[in-house]
Structure 1
């Protein structure tokens, strides 16, 4: 029987190639009244098939899966089901993987060994529209080694563009030419591997490269 409370449940999809991880997470999260584990997938491709058939709010995804990786999965989720939010649950915490995950659309990044309360809190935070990065990871995302090679001036230009300024307005603000602004933006999109300035802004905001006040 469906109750009024059921309608408020956060619908979850678990994606991990290890059966014991899927079983453990399903058991843990299924005990929470505000969670509904809709499905568990053993691969990214299986997860995408499930997303085509079922309504999901949050996907918990492992990064290191054979064949179709977690990063591939995140990128496809962002394209195929943009309203679905993703949280990475990984056994590893390397800068390159964190950056790649956030660039691909992850709204949170936690280790599998994280306390259950931290995992559940992250799910609720992301469902509420916030990010869920432990302080140590959030700090690393904002540190200089996570700048993807952007110079201080390039970050300044991107921050102004993200605030809605045109190339001409950016040029006037920084006292440089529009040609220089355009060159900076071209370099930025190349370094962030973005298709255009809009995607570059998205990546920069979600990786902490720029901050909008």
Structure 2
């Protein structure tokens, strides 16, 4: 039996979920809280298997409550259930350590599926949330890694991608072989790749080759 704690400031939401889970054979509601502070206190006392957490609440919001619960009890599994899908809510919730993120427009069946999935160790995220996370990671890779390259290193990377040897790069850019080797080493380090081939693949994938 999956022991569930509901944390939501809307009584009708808690009532609706409790009613639905009361007819489920494998999920039982062991507690309800109307704000994040109550949720925090009940979570540490009852140690539920899953916590279903709203985000916008009085006294203490869901993000702060999630942070506090996980600080005191790192094994807790918290699924965010909210009406908000904007970046200002999604990413702070993920950074706080939430194990899942659902919208209140989800069906009761979808919420139950998320609870079971999370209980079994598989985080469950709304499709839109997953897309946001992937987009953010892609943007991070595009910006954080190659934006650190100097203009000269970018020139060297382009020549590497065109199959130039170190000596050919030196001749083309009128620099010494030793300087080329230094640039190559810096490029591999900054792009977090192991060899020239991986550096070239990175360059093509991120449209760095003219």
- C-alpha distance in 1 between matches for 2:2 and 2:8: 19
- Counterparts in 2 of 1:150 and 1:26: CA distance versus 1, 3 Å: farther
The alpha-carbon distance between structure 1 residues 135 and 41, as it changes in their structure 2 partners (threshold 3 A), is: same
The gaps in structure 1 that reach 5 residues or longer are 1-8, 156-173, 185-213
More helix by share: 2
Note if 1:45 corresponds to 2:54: no
Structure 1 residues 44-123: aligned runs within 5 Å: 44-123=36-115
CA distance in 1, matches of 2:8, 2:48: 16
The 3 A distance-change label for structure 1 pair 66 and 150 is farther
> Measured at CA, do residues 38 and 152 of structure 1 come closer, stay the same or move farther in structure 2, by a change above 3 Å?
same
The structure with the largest alpha-carbon Rg is 2
Secondary structure at the aligned position of 2:102 is classed as: strand
Q: Structure 1 pair 115/65, CA: closer, same or farther in 2 (3 Å)?
A: same
CA contact (8 A) 1:87 1:108 kept: yes
Aligned residue-pair number: 156
Map residues 183-198 of structure 1 onto 2, 5 A cutoff.
none
Check if 1:176 corresponds to 2:189. Answer: no
Relative distance call for 1:76 and 1:32 in structure 2 (3 A) is same
TM-score, length-scaled by structure 2:
0.66
Structure 1 residues 33, 70: closer, same or farther in 2, change over 3 A?
A: same
Instruction: Name the CA distance, whole Å, in 2 between partners of 1:34 and 1:146.
Output: 38
The 1-side partners of 2:64 and 2:9 are apart by 14
- Equivalent position SS for 1:66: coil
Give the corresponding residue for 2:5.
13
Deviation beyond 2 Å, 4+ runs, structure 1: 144-152, 174-177
Which residue does the alignment assign to 2:161?
A: none
The structure-2 alpha-carbon separation of the partners of 1:127 and 1:153, relative to structure 1 and needing over 3 Å to count, comes to same
In the aligned structure 2, how far is the partner of 1:18 from the partner of 1:104?
A: 23
Residue 139 of structure 2 corresponds to residue 139 of structure 1: no
Q: Is the 8 A contact 1:16 1:41 kept in 2?
A: yes
Alpha-carbon deviation of 1:126? 0.6
Q: Secondary structure at the match of 2:70?
A: helix
Give the drift of 1:96. Answer: 1.8
